[in-house]
Amino acid sequence: MTNDLPFDAERALHLARETFAIEADALLGMQRRLTAEFPRAVETILRCEHRVVVMGMGKSGHVGRKIAATLASTGTPSFFVHPAEAAHGDLGMVTSGDVCLLISNSGESNELSTIIPALRRLGVTLVALTGRPDSSLAKVCDIVLSCAVDKEACTLDLAPTASTTAQMAMGDALSVALLDARGFREEDFALSHPGGALGRKLLTHVSDLMRTGDGVPRVARDASFSALLQEMSGKGLGLAAIVDGNTPVGIFTDGDLRRLIETGADLRQRVAHEVMHPRPHLIRAGALAVDAADLMERHRITSVLVVDSKGGLVGALNTYDLLRAKVI
């Protein structure tokens, strides 16, 4: 459809502000109307030993997919089933003991009505998210959460706008209440988001990134300066650990080399323990990589030696390793 009408920027801004106002009022109205049905729904899902199955048609279906995803990522096993597909075999995904979250603004969705008798026979608990608490859907559900709005933001009062915002907010409220009741923590969130920034920060350990074995440059305390330089250049980390047995007692870096050269000192007769930086910064292999990044930042260093629980040298880590893993 073509539109030859001139574009009115001011009217667009006015409608945007009006949309925000209508939808904000809708949410405040839901807040005022919240009843004991909400904690009932939270407790029912919390006690459920199976899964939450979310269903909805049209725009309510799109909202349902988001609600299912939010629940799943915050500790409540959940998935979306399309009601029309459920009537043609996908109902097999639903098992006795599940909780079904049924979303319909009108509460008169034919596709939901068709499968409710089958859901009842399965013995699932039915929770309705509806804009009409007196609807057919509400009457057959065990718990009813009202998502009623006074009007849609659509200028024709037809397209689901405020009503879908209300449904989304109710789903978010359920998710937040449930994650709090479960004692869900950042670490738990990271487990279901291993590819995200939080997952990398909370799941990646120093041992996952550190250089190990022959890749860790090290020399004995009495090693010659020449041997120290060969070890540094050969391993390409810009550092070498000075060890007593397997215990790191010092470190020598590219920066230390530059500073020594600037003094004009004769380095040919020096040995490792004479030029090393004593008491090097160390970190445990089991520590989080983000803690290693914090250690480096606080002390303004670019590398750190890694030790085991007994203080033995087991690895080395630098900022490039952290950058490559996207920890920083």
Contacts 24+ apart (CB under 8 A), 134-138: 134/107, 135/104, 135/106, 135/107, 135/108, 136/107, 136/108, 137/102, 137/104, 137/107, 137/108, 137/109, 137/112, 137/113, 138/107
What pLDDT, on a 0 to 100 scale, did the predictor assign at position 165?
96
- For residue 275, what is the enclosing H or E element? helix 272-275
Confidence of residue 192 (pLDDT cuts 50, 70, 90): low
- Asked if residue 124 has pLDDT above 60, the reply is yes
Confidence of residue 234 (pLDDT cuts 50, 70, 90): confident
Token reading at 265: 């000192």
Q: How far is CA 188 from CA 44, 74, 191, 194, 196, in A?
A: 22, 8, 5, 10, 13
- Give the model confidence (pLDDT) of 194-224 as tens digits: 555 555 566 688 998 999 998 899 999 999 9
- Give the model confidence (pLDDT) of 45-103 as tens digits: 999 989 999 999 999 999 999 999 999 888 899 999 999 999 888 999 999 999 999 99
Q: All domains of the chain, ordered by start, with CATH? A: 9-184 (3.40.50.10490), 203-324 (3.10.580.10)
What pLDDT, on a 0 to 100 scale, did the predictor assign at position 236?
82
- Asked if residue 13 has pLDDT above 70, the reply is yes
Give the global pTM: 0.66
Is the distance from CB of 286 to CB of 307 less than 8 angstroms?
Answer: no
> Distance between CA atoms of 43 and 128, rounded to whole angstroms?
15
